[in-house]
């Protein structure tokens, strides 16, 4: 299997040439004071070294060893503690954190590239910094000044890690029925009691303290999701001077035995009157959690890209080296017993499909990160509000479409290897197993599709969709005279019109058919995602085509040719998806329970 190498050339292309991120950062004063092009480039370079040289070599061993549970204590795979210290010493835990409390204040457009490298190199390990960053984000946005001062510096420094405790044995998607309780102690603290499951890195030996953000209900809380509050519950209580105090009344009851990401600890956490502190307002816990969710859901989408990138690198190298049969057009390497399998059209189909989703997905994740940066840092109210709408609309697409296509790409990478792809030593079967969870956690992809179709599109009567529609339409109009883009703008416009027509169709159906949204949602998200990646590939052609003719490296010419494949072979899938959506819900809902 190929050793993972961070795709720095492609990341720089997306950041600097496709999206002109330095200009975006300059337009956001709070960002500009922390980053410039040279700083960003140095961060990318160092991130590539650490992820490729430190994290990737631990990936297979971490999967084979897994975490170990012993009487409530969890030990990590060999090398993980040392790798964690490398991440901590480099300041990577606080890369996007608030500088007021020790973070580096880097924009999400840059942080997203590091996140992809980390997840591609070692997803199980990468979940630990990812969860800490999410916990910090929620605490920074909603915690009191006292809580932020007390906890954020050590969390950004990585001395303490973070965990998010949402799910319960009986309550996954439907958090309104959680049973974990929080009783006031009369001194500003609360006693938290209940059991949480599927808590990623809820217990481990890499950091000296673990800060849990726990969803729970107060005694007089309203029923349902409007009665959920968020509490900070540390593994060790923290003294007034910042030192660690007594062990809190919480413990890891067991570790889950999982299909993938075996190097990470997925914990059952028991809270037995553990002392905690309210984060944000009473009964507003979901609002606080959703502050984190937009970032984390994009982060999970990036995991899908990362796994697919690792699979593509390995499959590409294998296709260049593995000789098997002759090319349909005749021997390409007559001095050898057979030709490399790259000569075969079906192998090229798989590799180009992977390339289309990985590189298009990287551009799309950066596009969404751009809107996150504007929504968080802009001083212009109108610009910020516009960006918030784009983030709301695009987040479920980023999470679900990128992870669905990420798994598809990993399976194709495995298929390129044939029988060897099923064998442990080549690494492809681990990528398939690891990537599978990305479609499930942080809200299953079916729920993401319902969120997009029901809440964001139908719920806004198309107003949020119009923000994206205006962006695509402006690009098409502004570039109508570009000869390089002409072959791409017509099919993009057709797919975009198809998406707009279907959007209006479902909005109209939903007014008198309760099943319309649910029946259309998954296909609609795929239609949206394919069209969005078509838009990204058109933007990449705009940046690459003028440089392609004089390109001796093959980078820019390869981009243009890969775009042609995407538009010829992948974007047309939108036709079938649109037809399926227009068929409505009747055939889906017609069977009785007995007929299944």
Q: What is the per-residue pLDDT across 567-593, written as a single tens digit (0 to 9) for each?
A: 999 999 999 999 999 999 999 999 999
Mean pLDDT of the chain: 97
Q: pLDDT band for 438, please (50, 70, 90 cuts).
A: very high
Q: Is the pTM of this model over 0.85?
A: yes
Q: Is 531 helix (H, G, I), strand (E, B) or coil?
A: helix
- Residue listed under structure tokens 């997203």: 112
For the stretch 65-87, what's the b/e string if a residue is b when 16 or more beta carbons lie within 10 angstroms of its beta carbon? bbbebeeeebbbbebbeebbeeb
Element (H, E) at 233: strand 229-234
Q: Is 153 helix (H, G, I), strand (E, B) or coil?
A: helix
Element (H, E) at 250: strand 250-255
Is a pLDDT exceeding 80 seen at residue 273?
A: yes
Q: Are 435 and 59 in contact (CB under 8 A)?
A: no
- Find the Cα–Cα–Cα–Cα dihedral 575, 578, 580, 584, rounded to 10°: -160
| pLDDT tens per residue across span 384-401 | 999 999 999 999 999 999
**480 Cβ neighbours under 8 A, 6+ residues apart:** 489
Q: What is the mean pLDDT of residues 556-572?
A: 98
List, as one string, the DSSP characters of 277-339: EEESSTT-HHHHHHHHHHHHHHHHHHHHHHHHHHHHHHHHHHHHH-B-S--TTS-SSTTSSS-
Q: pLDDT band for 1, please (50, 70, 90 cuts).
A: low
| pLDDT tens per residue across span 205-219 | 999 999 999 999 999
**Backbone torsion region of residue 519, taken as left when φ is above 0, otherwise alpha when ψ lies between -120 and 50, otherwise beta:** alpha
Catalytic (active-site) positions = 442
**What is the rounded distance in angstroms from the CA atom of residue 275 to the CA atom of residue 189?**
6
Per cent of the chain over pLDDT 90 is 96
Q: What is the mean pLDDT of residues 355-377?
A: 97
Q: Is 258 helix (H, G, I), strand (E, B) or coil?
A: coil
Q: 3-state SS of 182-222?
A: EEECCCCCEEEEEEEEEEECCCCCCCCEEEEEEEEECCCCC
Token representation of residue 485 = 């883009």
| pLDDT tens per residue across span 322-349 | 999 999 999 999 999 999 999 999 999 9
**What is the rounded distance in angstroms from the CA atom of residue 364 to the CA atom of residue 536?**
6
Q: Are 476 and 489 in contact (CB under 8 A)?
A: yes
Q: What is the mean pLDDT of residues 291-299?
A: 84
Is a pLDDT exceeding 80 seen at residue 115?
A: yes
- The bridge status of strand 250-255 relative to strand 244-247 is unpaired
**What is the rounded distance in angstroms from the CA atom of residue 268 to the CA atom of residue 496?**
45
| pLDDT tens per residue across span 498-550 | 999 999 999 999 999 999 999 999 999 999 999 999 999 999 999 999 999 99
Start-to-end CA distance of the chain, whole Å, equals 43
Q: Are 569 and 561 in contact (CB under 8 A)?
A: no
Give pLDDT, residue 2. Answer: 78
List, as one string, the DSSP characters of 437-490: GGGTSSS-HHHHHHIIIIIIIITTTTHHHHHHHHHHHHHHHHTTT-TTTHHHHH
**What is the rounded distance in angstroms from the CA atom of residue 391 to the CA atom of residue 373?**
10
**What is the rounded distance in angstroms from the CA atom of residue 527 to the CA atom of residue 397?**
10
Q: pLDDT band for 295, please (50, 70, 90 cuts).
A: confident
Report phi then psi at 553, rounded to 5. -80, -20
Report the sign of the C-alpha dihedral through residues 81, 85, 91, 94, in that order: positive
Q: pLDDT band for 201, please (50, 70, 90 cuts).
A: very high
Sequence spans of domains, the chain: 460-591
Question: What's the Cα-to-Cα distance from 240 to each of 185, 194, 210, 237, rounded to whole Å?
Answer: 18, 27, 17, 10
Is a pLDDT exceeding 80 seen at residue 311?
A: yes
Q: pLDDT band for 171, please (50, 70, 90 cuts).
A: confident
**What is the rounded distance in angstroms from the CA atom of residue 25 to the CA atom of residue 33?**
9
Q: What is the mean pLDDT of residues 59-83?
A: 98
- For residue 210, list its beta bridge partners: 161
Element (H, E) at 74: strand 73-75
């Amino acid at each position: 299997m190929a050793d993972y190498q961070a795709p720095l050339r492609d990341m720089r292309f997306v950041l600097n040439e496709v999206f002109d991120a330095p200009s975006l950062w300059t337009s956001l004063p709070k960002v500009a004071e922390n980053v410039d092009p040279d700083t960003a480039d140095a961060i990318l370079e160092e991130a590539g070294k650490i992820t490729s040289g430190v994290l990737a070599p631990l990936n297979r061993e971490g999967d084979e060893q897994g975490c170990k549970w012993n009487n409530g204590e969890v030990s990590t795979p060999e090398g993980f503690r040392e790798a964690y210290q490398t991440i901590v010493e480099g300041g990577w835990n606080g890369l996007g954190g608030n500088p007021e409390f020790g973070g580096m204040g880097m924009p999400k457009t840059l942080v997203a590239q590091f996140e992809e490298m980390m997840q591609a190199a070692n997803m199980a390990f990468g979940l630990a910094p990812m969860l800490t960053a999410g916990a910090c984000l929620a605490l920074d946005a909603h915690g009191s000044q006292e809580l932020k001062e007390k906890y954020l510096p050590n969390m950004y420094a990585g001395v303490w890690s973070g965990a998010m405790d949402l799910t319960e044995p009986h309550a996954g998607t439907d958090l309104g029925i959680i049973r974990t309780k929080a009783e006031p102690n009369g001194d500003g603290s609360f006693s938290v009691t209940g059991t949480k499951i599927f808590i990623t890195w809820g217990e481990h030996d890499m950091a000296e303290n673990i800060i849990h953000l726990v969803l729970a209900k107060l005694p007089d809380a309203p029923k349902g999701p409007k009665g959920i509050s968020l509490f900070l519950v540390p593994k060790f209580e923290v003294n007034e001077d910042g030192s660690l105090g007594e062990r809190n009344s919480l413990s890891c009851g067991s570790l889950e035995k999982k299909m993938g990401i075996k190097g990470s600890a997925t914990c059952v956490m028991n809270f037995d009157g553990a002392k905690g502190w309210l984060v944000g307002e009473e009964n507003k816990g979901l609002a606080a959690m959703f502050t984190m969710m937009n970032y984390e859901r994009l982060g999970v989408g990036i995991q899908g890209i990362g796994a697919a990138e690792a699979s593509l690198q390995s499959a590409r190298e294998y296709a260049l080296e593995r000789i098997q049969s002759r090319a349909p057009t005749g021997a390409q390497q007559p001095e050898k017993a057979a030709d490399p399998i790259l000569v075969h059209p079906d192998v090229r189909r798989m590799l180009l499909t992977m390339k289309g989703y990985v590189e298009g997905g990287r551009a799309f994740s950066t596009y969404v990160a751009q809107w996150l940066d504007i929504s968080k840092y802009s001083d212009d109210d109108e610009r910020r509000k516009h960006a918030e709408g784009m983030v709301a609309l695009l987040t479920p697409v980023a999470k679900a479409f990128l992870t669905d296509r990420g798994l598809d790409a990993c399976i194709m990478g495995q298929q390129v290897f044939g029988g060897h792809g099923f064998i442990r030593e080549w690494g492809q079967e681990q990528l398939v197993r690891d990537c599978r969870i990305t479609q499930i956690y942080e809200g299953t992809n079916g729920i993401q599709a319902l969120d997009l179709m029901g809440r964001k599109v139908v719920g806004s009567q198309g107003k949020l969709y119009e923000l994206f529609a205006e962006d695509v339409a402006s690009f098409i109009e502004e570039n109508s005279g570009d000869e390089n883009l002409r072959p791409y703008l017509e099919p993009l416009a057709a797919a975009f019109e198809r998406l707009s027509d279907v959007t209006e169709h479902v909005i109209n159906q939903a007014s008198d058919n309760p099943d319309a949204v649910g029946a259309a949602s998954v296909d609609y998200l795929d239609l949206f995602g394919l069209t969005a990646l078509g838009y990204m590939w058109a933007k990449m052609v705009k940046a690459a085509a003028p440089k392609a003719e004089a390109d001796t490296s093959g980078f820019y010419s390869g981009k243009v040719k890969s775009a042609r494949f995407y538009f010829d072979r992948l974007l047309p899938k939108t036709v079938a998806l649109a037809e399926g959506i227009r068929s409505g819900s009747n055939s889906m809902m017609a069977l009785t329970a007995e007929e299944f």
